[in-house]
């Protein structure tokens, strides 16, 4: 991970002429039992990557690490169904934020429903702010997270996750398909070569 982060920081420097002041990571795909282990490993990698881009070797950047989770069974419903549209399946409105009662005490976490519910009951996304050396006002992270759900180029409305998370999913999927195709191509070529070298397949 250190190499990839350093490459992204180098790209940022090449485009802006300066190093980033804040690094925000939206991390998907980990369970709550692995929070601290993954946070420790990846935080160290990110910090080391940044130091390598700084001639002084200093860590003069803030880091915010937010875990994104859709794997839960929590759902919210409007109190007054007369104020919601039937075409939205009586779901809560996009932008609905819940940050108490059903949240944890160990971390600052919140539920945010950003997508327009068109089929079934919308499931909110659960966000855990595990590490934050920037520490802006408490309402900043729900606000910026909500804003990022408007920036996905394939959609004309909000989506369920911040667009950087979706782009990461698409990049990972493309990489997987490329590697699978390469493996299949290598395997098929090996079979051809084996048949050529096998004298039993030669016609007399």
pLDDT of residue 77: 84
Among 2-16, 21-35, 111-125, 155-169, the least confident range = 111-125
Query: pTM (2 decimals)?
Result: 0.82
CB contact at 8 A, 157 and 111: no
Class (C level, CATH) for 2-199: alpha beta
Each residue's pLDDT tens digit, 3-47: 999 999 999 999 999 999 999 999 998 998 999 999 999 999 999
pLDDT of residue 187: 58
pLDDT of residue 26: 97
67, β-bridge pairs? 27, 128
How buried is 3 (Cβ within 10 angstroms: 0-12 exposed, 13-18 middle, 19+ buried)? exposed
Q: What does the alpha-carbon distance between residue 34 and residue 178 come to, in Å, rounded to a whole number? A: 29
What does residue 86 show for φ and ψ, rounded to 5 degrees?
Answer: -65, -30
Helix axes 35-53, 2-16, angle to 10 degrees: 40
When comparing pLDDT for 101 and 197, which is higher?
Answer: 101
């Amino acid at each position: 991970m250190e190499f990839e982060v350093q490459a992204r920081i180098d790209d940022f420097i090449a485009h802006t002429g300066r190093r980033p002041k804040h690094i925000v990571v939206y991390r998907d795909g980990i369970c709550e039992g692995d929070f601290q282990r993954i946070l420790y490993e990846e935080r160290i990698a990110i910090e080391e990557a940044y130091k390598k881009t700084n001639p002084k070797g200093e860590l003069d950047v803030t880091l915010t690490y937010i875990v994104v989770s859709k794997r839960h069974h929590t759902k919210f419903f409007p109190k007054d169904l007369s104020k919601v549209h039937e075409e939205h399946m009586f779901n809560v409105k996009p932008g609905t934020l819940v940050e108490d009662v059903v949240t944890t005490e160990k971390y600052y976490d919140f539920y945010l429903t950003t997508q327009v519910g068109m089929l079934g009951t919308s499931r909110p996304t659960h966000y855990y702010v595990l590490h934050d050396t920037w520490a802006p006002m408490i309402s900043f992270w729900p606000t910026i997270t909500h804003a990022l759900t408007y920036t996905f180029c394939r959609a004309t409305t909000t989506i369920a996750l911040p667009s950087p998370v979706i782009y990461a999913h698409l990049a990972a999927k493309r990489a997987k398909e490329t590697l699978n195709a390469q493996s299949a191509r290598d395997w098929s070529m090996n079979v051809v070569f084996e048949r050529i070298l096998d004298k039993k397949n030669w016609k007399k």
